[in-house]
Structure formats: structure tokens, C-alpha cells
Amino acid sequence: MSLVVIKLGGAVMEQAEPALNLFRAVAQMQEKGFKVVLVHGGGIFVEQQMQAQNVVSDKLNGLRVTPDEHMPIVVGALAGYANKLLVSYAKQSGVNAAGISLADGGLTTATEVSSELGAVGICKANSAALVMALTDANIVPVVSSIAMSETGRLLNVNADDAATVIAQLLQADLVLLSDVDGVLDGNRQLIPELDEKKIEQLVVDGVITDGMIPKTRAALATARSLQRPIAVANWRYPERLADLLAGAPVGTRILP
């Protein structure tokens, strides 16, 4: 069986139908022999909870700044509500899923990125045992981007980076789902392929901005590690996932 890691953001969870369509596509992929692992963020839910509690959240280079006092909100939104909402959508779509986090089962270990970002971590792979046990049982792991340090401190990890680490650990294909068809040029046209030189030039030119910066760099790191292209594609068309993994020209391919 082929392993594939699919990363999705909070946008796909804002409305039920896109998420249900995604899990219907996952069910079809399972029927075709794929083992699927989902990794998710959910910044929209963090923002909603912070606004409800009158808490101000900042970003630095596309990454959320997370003081320790914000972590109860962040963990509750990501590892709690967003994670279980996805498991609910999976059930409604006929997919057996289990909601876990980067902190569970020794999957990863995280360290703080910098004091500027606060409780924001970068994770490294530890053990695939839990994820493999689930996929071997035909259960889809739904992994939130909350990780844990060696000392047990909870850290918020960028979900693109989290998906990258898991894909490398599993030696799996990686698809990063976005709210656009892929990486777009200055005229908002799809760029079919990108390598490191082109990515960094587009960052300098201000074409690749905000959350797409860590997304493309994470994809590049994984492409190099696995020595295979990584896809950035639109979550609105989940029915294209199987075609994408079969080599069809869908989204933007990040080359190693």
C-alpha cells in the first residue's frame, strides 16, 4: 500500500461540505489501496477563541507568536475542537478516524524555535508506531499540530512543518492543501513547478508571502529528503487527489 500524508488548514473546516468532500475522497483513496494520514492546523479556530476572549495574537514571518499564557486557547482550539470536528466529518463520510496530536505515542519531540515566538516549536520525528498501528487497522490518523518537548512542555508547531516531519518519518507522499490552486505568480496564474531558486526569488519579489512562505519551504525540505516532488494543491477539489498522486498535473509540484 502507498502512504500519503495530507495537510489541511482551518479553511477547509469552516464549512461542513468541503470537509465532508475531502473525507469522501479519502474513502475512495483507501479503496484504491492508499493509507492516508491527515495533519491539520486550524488557525481560524484559534483566532475565533482569542477574539471571543479579547486576546490579541501576532504573527512573525507567517508564524503565530504564542506566549505561554495563550497555550490553553491554542491547545483547546487545535488539539480539541478542530481535531474532533475533523473526526466527526470523517465519521459522517464513512471513514474510521482517530484524533491524535504530535505529542501522542512518541510520534515527535519538539524544541522551542525562539524566544520571540514563545511556545512555538519545531519538531523532529521519533516513532511511527502509533500512526502505523492505526493505518494498519484501516484507521485514518488525524494529527493536530500540538507537540511536546522532552520535558513535557506543550508547543504549537506550524502544521506544514508538522506534515513534513511525518511524511519524512513514514517515507510517504505529501500533499499540502491550500485555499488556492497551488503557488501563483504575480498575475495570479498557477505555477506548475518550482525549485529552491525559483521559490526564494519569488519570496524576494514579494510574490510568495505570508503562510505560503513556510508552506513552500516545508515542501522543498520534504522533496529533498524523499527525493520526490511534493504537491501544493487546492482543498476545494479533493476528488483530484488520487489523480495528483498518480502523476497528473494538479497544483504546483515542488521539486527536490
| Residue 16 lies inside a defined structural domain of this protein | yes
- Residue 206 belongs to a domain: no
| 156 labeled binding residue | yes
Question: Would 168 be classed as within a structural domain?
Answer: yes
Domain presence at residue 215: no
Q: What is the pLDDT of residue 77?
A: 96
Provide the 10 A C-beta neighbour count for residue 209: 11
pLDDT of residue 67: 93
Scanning the chain, the segments in alpha helix (DSSP H) are: 16-31, 43-52, 71-75, 83-92, 129-136, 159-170, 196-204, 212-226, 241-245
Q: pLDDT value at position 222?
A: 79
- d(CA 62, CA 255) in angstroms, rounded, equals 22
Assign residue 172 the CATH number of its domain: 3.40.1160.10
136 lies in some domain: yes
Q: In terms of Cα–Cα distance, which of 13, 158, 192 is closest to 92?
A: 13
pLDDT at 221: 82
Alpha-carbon 31 to chain mean position: 23
Number of domains in the chain: 1
Active site residues: 7, 10, 43, 160, 215
Quick check: is 219 in a domain? no
Angle between helices 159-170 and 129-136 (to 10 degrees): 70
pLDDT of residue 179: 73
Q: Which structural domain, as residue segments, surrounds residue 47? A: 2-179+230-251
Distance CA 105, CA 33 (A): 25
Which residues, 6 or more positions from 108, have their beta carbon under 8 angstroms from its beta carbon? Answer: 102, 123, 124, 125, 126, 147, 157, 162, 165, 166
Residue 130 lies in a domain: yes
Compute mean pLDDT per 10 residues along the chain, 256 residues long, and list them: 83 84 90 94 91 88 83 96 96 98 97 93 96 97 98 93 92 83 82 89 88 82 83 76 68 85
pTM of the model: 0.86
In a domain, residue 124? The reply is yes
